[in-house]
Amino acid sequence: MADRTLRVAAVQFEATDRDKLRNLESVERLAASAAADGAELVCFHECCIPGYSFIQTVDFEGLSALAEPVPGPSTDALGKIAKRLGVAVGAGLLETARSTPTAAQRIYNSYVVVDSNGVVIACQRKLQPFVSPHLSPGDDFSVFTLRGWKIGILICYDNNLPENVRCTTLRGAEVILMPHVTGGTASNQPGRGTIDRALWDRRATDPVPLRREFQGLKGREWIHRFIPCRCWENGVYGVFTNAVGVDHDTIKPGISMVVDPCGNVVVECSKLGDDYVCTTLSGQALAIASGARYIKARRPELYGDIVKPTNAPSETRPCWTRSWEGGAAALEPDRAASSPRTALAAPVPVAAASPSPLPALPSTTPEVELSPIDKVLARGGTAIRAVCGAPGLLDGTVRWIIEALQGDVNVNDVGLQKRFADFTGVVQVLMKPQMLGEIRKVVLVQKQLADAGGKTSKEYSW
């Protein structure tokens, strides 16, 4: 019996924020190259048509202007590309939809696939959106058929949760498209963090430093920790695609790749720029994958705790602070005046090349004298929402604040500035007065715990 095959391409390119036409031109150019290499399905990254990370700076009206229905103008353009080249194409966009004609408009981070006839055959909405508070989450998994293959879609963070990949596999998926925009972001994880824009700008004449960043924990090494694992534990192919180059205020590492059902990376992009890789999927590889045995070995009667309802709602939160949490300067100038978020101030950039002094107090200081704790927090308030999900980081930051408060605090003290600078690589500094109360509560609770134990904060075990 002949082996069942599907030739797929995983693409990476540097998208331009807001410029759908230019991005679609990149899609067409790279899809044509992949088609010439025999690809039957060409996959691009998350939100590659409008651009991605910049949308954290856009209000609802701005997103509405960028979003479009499916089918719509962008899927029509993709359809023409696919039909002309005779391939299926997958790409990400912002989708606008209403559940009923009179229902409220919703905006989704969606990924569509059009077949070689130019017809939309799949549209998956991101289940765990987080980059903008105006994005609604999807509520189901998608599995579609292309050339006899069952294919699922999970967008970026959706792949971080093993349950999503397992559920998609249980729906029959043999291949999972994994469009991302990831890597090179501020992080509290060892070795991870942002990539210097200057390295990207001089990549043509000095590529080695950038390649080291892309290949290390800020890119490839981190991505390889979970993408191959998801494929291996479920016995499915994974088509991972990612942006490369400038993405709003970050540099993305690309590393688009195809992983086989045994967790092996079959092909992988390595260029410091636009690139694609192409390979042939084999039905025989599915038959020998360990994941197929693991699926059969499951004991669902023991897994009630996994689906047991909780009192807390689902919360999808990255370890970096989003612009809309940081303030007005992050909003577009033409929208800042009408946005309720304009009362917030802008975050200080993360991971500075060298420690910088604490930011000065706002010129409009309150008439009431600030307490020592408020002075410290006003100078360098930790982004409480960003660190609450990382207890170790939160505890460390609180410990530093309490130590600073043991005496008469001099917020201009060089030693204190250095101690705070130690945190700037992993925590974004906020100048948001309305956050001080939340932070202060955490600090005081921790201090009370230390005092109740009869210990000073330096002796307290964190």
12-33 per-position pLDDT tens digit: 999 999 999 999 999 999 999 9
Per the rule left: phi > 0, alpha: psi between -120 and 50, beta: everything else, 143 is: beta
Looking at residue 376, its pLDDT comes to 46
Strand pairing partners for 92? 111
Give percent of the chain above pLDDT 70: 70
Looking at residue 81, its pLDDT comes to 98
Indicate the pLDDT class of residue 444, thresholds 50, 70 and 90: low
Indicate the pLDDT class of residue 449, thresholds 50, 70 and 90: low
Looking at residue 324, its pLDDT comes to 73
Rounded Cα gap, residues 161 and 128, in angstroms: 9
Average the pLDDT over 33-49 and give the result. 98
Average the pLDDT over 227-245 and give the result. 98
pTM of the model: 0.72
Looking at residue 354, its pLDDT comes to 36
Rounded Cα gap, residues 85 and 154, in angstroms: 25
- What does the pLDDT look like over 64-73, one tens digit per residue? 999 999 999 9
Instruction: Please check the confidence at residue 328 and state whether its pLDDT lies above 50.
Output: no
The mean pLDDT of the chain is 80
Rounded Cα gap, residues 326 and 431, in angstroms: 8
Instruction: Please check the confidence at residue 407 and state whether its pLDDT lies above 50.
Output: no
Amino acid (1-letter code) at residue 255: I
CA atoms within 13 A on the CB side of 87: 25
Q: 65: helix, coil or strand? A: helix
- Which of 87-91, 297-301, 341-345, 441-445 shows the lowest per-residue confidence on average (mean pLDDT)? 341-345
**CA quadruple 60, 66, 70, 72: dihedral positive or negative?**
positive
Average the pLDDT over 161-187 and give the result. 97
175 touches 234 (CB < 8 A): no
Indicate the pLDDT class of residue 451, thresholds 50, 70 and 90: low
With both helix axes pointing from N to C terminus, report the angle between 20-36 and 73-85 in degrees, rounded to the nearest 10. 20
Per the rule left: phi > 0, alpha: psi between -120 and 50, beta: everything else, 50 is: alpha
The residue among 299, 273, 298, 287 whose CA lies nearest residue 12 is: 273
Q: 205: helix, coil or strand? A: coil
Looking at residue 338, its pLDDT comes to 33
Helix ranges (DSSP H) in 132-188: 162-170
Question: How many other C-beta atoms lie within 10 A of the C-beta of residue 38?
Answer: 12
32 phi and psi angles, rounded to 5 deg: -65, -40
Looking at residue 318, its pLDDT comes to 85
Average the pLDDT over 41-60 and give the result. 97
109 touches 51 (CB < 8 A): no
Instruction: Please check the confidence at residue 99 and state whether its pLDDT lies above 90.
Output: no
Indicate the pLDDT class of residue 76, thresholds 50, 70 and 90: very high
Rounded Cα gap, residues 78 and 390, in angstroms: 41
Choice between 400 and 332, residue whose per-residue pLDDT is larger: 400
